[in-house]
Structure 1
Amino acid sequence: MPGSHISDQQVFLFMVERRNHTQAVAAAKAGISERSARRIEKDLRLPSQKKRRRHWRTRADPLEQFWPRVEELLQIEGIIAVTIFETLQDEFGEEAVPDKVRRTLERRIARWRALNGAEKEIFFPQHHEIGRQGLSDFTVCDGLRVTIAGDPFDHRLYHFRLACSGWEHAAVVLGGESFAALSEHLQDALWKLGGVPAEHRSDSLSAAYKNLDVDAQRDFTRSYEDLCAHYGMLATRNNRGVAHENGSIEGPHAHLKRRLDQALRRRGSRDFISIEAWREFVEAEVAKQNRRRAALIDQERRVLRSLPARRTTDFAMLSVDVTRNGTVSIERVLYSVPSRLVGQRLHAHLYDDRIELFLGPDRVMTTPRVRVKFPARAHHIDFRHVVANLRRKPGALRHLVYRDALFPNHAYRRAWQAFDAQLDARQACRDAVALLDIAARGNCIDALARRIDAALDAGQLPDVTALKDEFLPTTRTQRDVTIPPPDLCAYNSLLASVEVH
């Protein structure tokens, strides 16, 4: 065809057809002209074997005078075409280097780099042996825009995956990347899976290392290796900052979050009543994906190693002393404990989402774990731990350091503010403490809060006496006792017995 170059395939076709047809017919079948056919028969070389004629320019090269400077700039590592273009405009002026040559420059730079540039990193596809490798990593989920009871919920997901079959486990992580979170959720995954792969691979957990000194990093590494040794897994890590070495988990991160995002869109809301509700939602979506791979997962399960007899440590541990204030301090957060523990030394087991306190072998309490960013401090106070002492000393409420954290919810804080504004100082403290006492003894925090809000919304102060009668009734049931009159005749039998003696 006019204007088109003859290809090697057309020449081959012409030569085959020429055996049985005339030159004109063979040329027609090959889609070339008779003139081209005559030229081919005179020179049997293929078009790819011939030296192509260089195209001549129809206009002057707009970059010719600047190209030496461009090549100098290209020696700078990481420089991009736009920066080079703006540099040329700064040095030579916008009239000499107009905006319309930008695309020409970008194409010329791309070609130069393809021919003369540095070596690029390539990726090596891997064959995953069945039962060989499981991978763990954490991924930030702020992009899912999940809220809990209307409040933004910033969190991570721990993600475990078998490299071969793709079996997954995901768990909501409230804190950052830590050994406690890794240990707890990795063990959850293995026990849910029902077996152990030969190797466990993670990234360098840079967030967990960021604020650790050399000794702490060594302890972290030793703890991680001990965890894997307990399950008979080879512990491996990819190089720090090279995420694609963990590609069998990094890529599925995006797939998992995309599936969760689509499920949230179908649900029509990203708000959940509690963290537990969001956890159940995540587990259900992961279970759906695992069911789609059921055949391959069952095949891999059969070659996994057996689980050990028990789990190993999945928490961080430290010892804390209970102060005379009835509190313990853990990671810049003050937690209240029952007052009977004052003066005792407790052992704290720090999980990702909770803290368990032990006195010797006995667990004395469990409390949600509160996290604050350095150097901030916080309080987590259970009013039931201190209300008995406050009944004896209600005036201590007014200037209590953790007063705002003492109230179980907003209704009780509103009541205190109303009492403080309309009553004298002593009575305000007494009434506020009385409400806390009713809530503690009646186990009616939410129900009492609704009564308090109703009274305050009506412009009235909560009636402490009426609320106490409603939630702590003390009326005793009366029982009628009937005493029959004595039978006097019965005494005559006593006289007879006296005469006999």
Structure 2
Amino acid sequence: MKAWLDADVTVATVAQRLRDDHSVAASESSVRRWIATYFADEVARARVTVPRGPVDPGSEAQIDYGRLGMWFDPVSAKRVAVWAFVMVLACSRHLFVRPVIRMDQTTWCACHVAAFEFFGGVPARLVCDNLKTGVDKPDLYDPQINRTYAELATHYGTLIDPARAFKPKDKPRVERPMRYVRDSFWRGREFASLAQMQSDGVRWSTEVAGARHCRALDGAQPLRVFEAVEQDALIRLPHRGFELSTWSIGTVGVDAHLKVAKALYSVPWRLIGQRLHARSAGDVVQIFSGDQVVATHVRRPSGRSTDFNHYPPEKVAFAMKTPAWCRRTAELVGPSCEAVIAEFMADNAIHHLRSAQGVLGLRDKHGCERLEVACARAIAVGDPSYRTIKGILAAGTEHAGEPPQRGAAAAAGAFLRGPEQFGTDTGSIA
């Protein structure tokens, strides 16, 4: 029995184990009385609470959500649950209430920003619950703070100090007023919209909750104590507003793209298969490998955002040589080359794209000057095709006096007699 109590086994579980494992037919209340009689010291020791003493002005705020009730939302035409975001300054007991119908990352951070603006400053330490919007991985000694929440704390110069899991007494100054908020602010009132509800929450925090006589303050009003001793002790608000960001994590696919929300963004191909973090803020998406930014894109609602520099050059050579690229490159070679490419692009540019790429690819072997002369030669003979230009360069006849044969690359002979030499009458073949 003592081992169970030392392991913090509840009385209900003790009674259940006695019935199941030891055939002791004892009710929970009987077990509770027996423990109180025979383990009086242990029971008394467990009930001991050490007072924290006074809290320095501006040093701490305690934060939590509390359920208010159900409300008919005229926007969605449905009944929705309403929760109260509550931040209480531990020294003055002055509090801020903001009703919400969502408890996502955006709402969590927006409520903090609204609370800081309401108080006109920032407390040095934030004691919050272990919600996923605040703490990714609870731990007594090294909690892993949500990255967006950590950015907010860094921006405002405050410290996040999560309470221990399942220990509501770690933040009693926000836990105890929840019933008061629900009874005084919520019950028996009607609200036409969420905006009205939130504006009424600000007014109620100042005019009602701020003017109450608080027993913990020897009957003083929280608002008066706040104005007298705590307001000037808060950290000043930064000049620049907080830009809300959203973090996500995903695996890079074989196409070197990472999915963020409903869009896909390219990253360097060497990161294929790795899990990367993405930060979305405003119109920009940044992708991180560890603490290093490996890609930056303009934010998109859907579709793909691809930077071809993220691929090996040989993989994107064809995709990079678009019709626009062909026109720009031909301008650098010369007017004759530009005229040849313009003729390719004039009608169904996509079907003639490979020919245009082939002509411009001849620069690598023969140089721009020879290619320009060969293009002029091909235009002169009336056959500015890839095969003709390649044949001119291969034969080295771009500067020759006589015009080359059309399709000069072909060395085989040809039937050169005109069509009049051929007829359908087999009896009069020449």
What's the TM-score once normalised by structure 2's chain length?
Answer: 0.46
Query: 1 or 2, which has the higher helix percentage?
Result: 1
Query: 1 or 2, which has the higher strand percentage?
Result: 2
What's the TM-score once normalised by structure 1's chain length?
Answer: 0.40
